Amino acid sequence: MLKQGSTIGILGGGQLGRMLAIEGARLGYRCVGFAPEGDNVAAELCADFFTARWDDTAALAAFAAQCDAITYEFENVPLSVFDTLPVDAVFPPRKALEVAQDRLAEKRFVEGLGGRPALHAAVDSRADLVAAIERIGAPGILKTRREGYDGKGQWRIESAHDADGVPLSGGPAIYEGFVDFAAEFSVILVRGRDGAVRFWEPTRNVHRDGILATSSLPAGERIAAQVDEAHALAKRVADALDYVGVLTLEFFATEKGPVFNEMAPRVHNSGHWTIEGAVTSQFANHMRAVAGLPLGDTAAVAESVTMTNLVGKDSASALARLAEPDTHLHLYGKKQARAGRKMGHVTQLTRPSRQPHS
């Protein structure tokens, strides 16, 4: 257990790091960040911030020297970074990144634990793609195996003829067959250093242009009927990785049960509702887990919750939303609003027993 005044390092400088630093401060910890040059909005909330390349071992060593524990806010931190950091002080463990950074390795790992991902095949050449389409069928999605998020690094394949038109110069890829689903949902858990696991309520997720638009609960009967199976798989994943912190698994709700889509070894956009909508938020519980503290209650505090992302210029008129009942605005402090960029989010709660103040 970290004593008050200890320092928690955060790899990454985005909005997730910003919100983690807020919760670290609430718990009496000093937070220090590290990220390459960029719009590092987390720096405003950190006691110190290192702006350096991921391969700057001297800067990483100086950063690590300040830290009693280290976490990360996104899964594309190069694995070489962890060669400079004290292994026992990093939460979640390096193994979680090794799995999550490669979509093929991720699916094989989950399959080995009894999960059901979409039909898929490795693609390293045009011939591989043609063979994958012939075996799995179309439509489908071609994705880079590494990096890519919010719809980036993905190409929809409608038929075998599309194989000639997609780029294959970005490194190894994976082809995934189309999943006929009724809804998309997230399962988010937190696992403590002692192995204790707690789940938040699942959310129904709606995407637009590959970017999460809304997360809402209750998630509906179709998702509710598949949550137990999804929870069981998520716990097997967390236990197999000896995980510490918040872990997110995304699923498709189908006629045959939950189909695994992908995992994120970190706090997640679809869990932002927990800041106001749960007894303990994903950010607070992640920092509790990293610090070795008891985990907080994950129960929802409202009858319904809807979290809406503010993407691009959506944030320009966001302040007007504050006039709506039980509505909570989070702006991330990013300097430039461009298409596809998450600038903030709004969370709206419904509490039937609560009367608005005049």
* 152 assigned ligand-binding residue: yes
* 237 assigned ligand-binding residue: no
* 150 assigned ligand-binding residue: yes
Give the pairing type, strands 203-208 and 304-311. unpaired
* 94 assigned ligand-binding residue: no
* 149 assigned ligand-binding residue: yes
- Token pair of 267 as six digits: 């706090």
* 357 assigned ligand-binding residue: no
* 261 assigned ligand-binding residue: yes
* 140 assigned ligand-binding residue: no
* 178 assigned ligand-binding residue: yes
* 28 assigned ligand-binding residue: no
* 23 assigned ligand-binding residue: no
* 143 assigned ligand-binding residue: yes
* 313 assigned ligand-binding residue: no
* 171 assigned ligand-binding residue: no
| 227-240 vs 103-112: helix crossing angle, rounded to 10 | 110
* 55 assigned ligand-binding residue: no
Please enumerate, by residue number, every residue annotated as part of a binding site for ATP.
103, 143, 148-154, 176-179, 184, 207, 261-262
Please enumerate, by residue number, every residue annotated as part of a binding site.
103, 143, 148-154, 176-179, 184, 207, 261-262
